[in-house]
A and B are shown apart, each in its own frame.
Chain A
């Protein structure tokens, strides 16, 4: 299988605290990867290093055949890495449609009527078409989560990182978002899912990586991960 993302010996420190300690990770093209770990294990820090929110880390990151270690976040987005945020960050002064037109304008270079049609198609796929011209600060939690995924899709990514897109959602809403992620993966998009809802991670992921205290402690299929004593210790304690 062809590798799309390689994280090599990444170390990220905040002052004297080491948030990521020599993390190595590879993700294959078209793969659905689950990234789990207890709170503070370094999942979001790792995602921030991959997406370019942090660039002051040691080690290297390669994406789609090129070295992206020194690239800024917007340059990585143009290369094909898009993400959603743990706490939704809508462009609240804009409508849902306008939110999607930002990546269309800055990644694709156009935000005309054709792009609006494309944006509408994305919103339809997410079940948000009716909200296209609603101010984004008036959306419900699940709608915000979907809009963030839609905005990420407007950047036409090869890799989508979903950072706890299901946090705070009801069971039915979790299923809705899962279905959306499955659909996006069917389009050929590689997906890294960070999630605390284990049922969703196990259902979605082909492979799961578990982080604890800034280190990868285990990786494998969901079946292997749930039985791993290190993972059980990380979540439940000794």
Chain B
């Protein structure tokens, strides 16, 4: 059973158990090789997980492949290019996997001489998430109630409806915009679609959506 798009809007939340693949990379070639073989859940995990975790300082990049390439391999140019992949342009994990692969492949072709191996103990370990989706008990019957409730949902709830729905579940857009569009609120839905969730924290994203809804 999957949560479809009911009217009213049912808020779901997600909790995760991190699964380990046992795969690890110590250089870029190994990274590329594993990227072609790991699950979509693994790609999603390493490009999205940091948005959900608390940081004492903002991470240099939210893309963990980029962070590792920068920290462990000191390949700054490649790290920046990986971090520069526009996740909003991706409509599926398959697109994302291919985009990451292209960036690394291009780097390998142009810059082979700087291929480094990371120090022992600093390998990239491929993980993925088992996601458990549950209804929160919050249900919005209409638009005003939706935005009232949205202010109180957890980051996990927001993450599920905004990030997971679009990329991992391959829905056409985030669940909020889709529901509003179904209700005929196309302008409001378009405004939410235009937000860049990757450029802000989840708390900031929530505030921005609520602000749009209350205008």
- Does chain A bind chain B? no
Q: Which A residues lie at the B interface, using CB under 8 A?
A: none
